[in-house]
C-alpha cells in the first residue's frame, strides 16, 4: 500500500489557516486524493480534552514548561490515534497546526528554546514530523485576528503583540533552518490565490 502524506499549515493568528485548510483539502480531493483534515491542539478524543485545559482559563493557569508538555502529550495522542493510521493507510492528512506551533510559541516566543521543545515532542511522536509544512504569512494577521475575535480570545491568542511578534520570528527561523520541509506562503490576496500558492508548494509531492 502506498504511504500517504502528512501536511501541516502553520502561521500566527489571523493568517487564514482554517479557511485554507478546507480549501486545500477540497482542491486535493478534486485531484482524486483521499484527504483527512484535523487540527491542533486536538484531533483525537484525548487531545481534544487537553485542548480545553490549554486554551481555557487565565494566563497564570500553566507555566511555560507545563504548557509545552501538555501540547506534546496532546500531539502524541493525535499522532497515535489519527495521523499515523491515516498516513499508513494511504490517506493525506492536513492539519491546522502541529509541532512547529510548539516550536514557535513555547520554544521561541515563550523562551524555552526551539531545540528543547523539539526534543520534548520527538520523544512522543518519534519520526512523525510533517512531510511538508506550509507557513502562511500575512502582514495584517494580528489585526485580522482582533477583528475576528473582538475581545474574546483564548489564553494564548490573547497574549500581547510582543509575544506574537516573537512567534512570527521563530516561525521564520524554523523555515530558514529547514527549507526543504517548511515552505513560506504569501497569505495576502484572495483566498483562491492563496490556495493556488499552497498547491504550488506541494507540487513536488503530488
Q: How confident is the model at residue 140 (pLDDT cuts 50, 70, 90)?
A: low
- Mean of all residue pLDDT scores within the chain: 90
The answer to whether the beta carbons of residues 33 and 73 sit under 8 Å apart is: no
Question: 7, 134 in Cβ contact below 8 A?
Answer: yes
Percent of the chain with pLDDT over 90: 76
Q: What CATH number belongs to 6-205?
A: 3.40.50.300
Arithmetic mean of pLDDT, 21-28: 97
- 31-45: per-residue pLDDT in tens? 999 999 999 999 999
**Cα–Cα distance for residue pair 13/156, rounded to 1 Å:** 10
Residue 136 in 3-state DSSP?
strand
Nearest to 10 by CA among 136, 151, 161, 187: 136
pLDDT in tens, 68-91: 999 999 999 999 999 999 999 999
Amino acid at each position: 500500500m502506498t504511504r500517504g502524506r502528512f501536511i501541516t499549515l502553520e502561521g500566527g493568528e489571523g493568517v487564514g489557516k482554517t479557511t485554507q485548510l478546507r480549501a486545500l483539502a477540497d482542491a486535493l480531493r478534486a485531484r482524486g486524493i483521499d484527504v483527512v483534515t484535523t487540527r491542533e491542539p486536538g484531533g483525537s478524543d484525548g487531545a481534544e480534552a487537553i485542548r480545553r485545559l490549554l486554551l481555557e482559563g487565565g494566563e497564570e493557569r500553566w507555566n511555560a514548561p507545563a504548557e509545552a508538555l501538555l501540547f506534546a502529550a496532546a500531539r502524541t495522542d493525535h499522532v497515535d490515534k489519527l495521523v499515523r493510521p491515516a498516513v499508513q493507510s494511504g490517506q493525506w492528512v492536513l492539519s491546522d497546526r502541529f509541532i512547529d506551533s510548539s516550536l514557535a510559541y513555547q520554544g521561541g516566543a515563550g523562551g524555552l528554546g526551539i531545540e528543547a521543545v523539539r526534543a520534548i515532542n520527538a520523544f512522543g511522536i518519534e519520526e512523525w514530523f510533517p512531510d511538508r509544512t506550509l507557513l502562511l504569512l500575512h502582514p495584517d494577521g494580528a489585526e485580522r485576528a482582533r477583528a475576528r475575535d473582538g475581545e474574546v480570545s483564548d489564553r494564548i491568542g490573547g497574549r500581547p503583540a510582543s509575544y506574537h511578534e516573537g512567534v512570527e520570528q521563530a516561525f521564520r527561523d524554523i523555515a530558514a533552518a529547514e527549507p526543504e520541509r517548511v515552505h513560506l506562503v504569501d497569505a495576502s490576496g484572495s483566498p483562491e490565490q492563496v490556495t493556488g500558492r499552497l498547491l504550488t508548494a506541494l507540487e513536488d509531492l503530488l
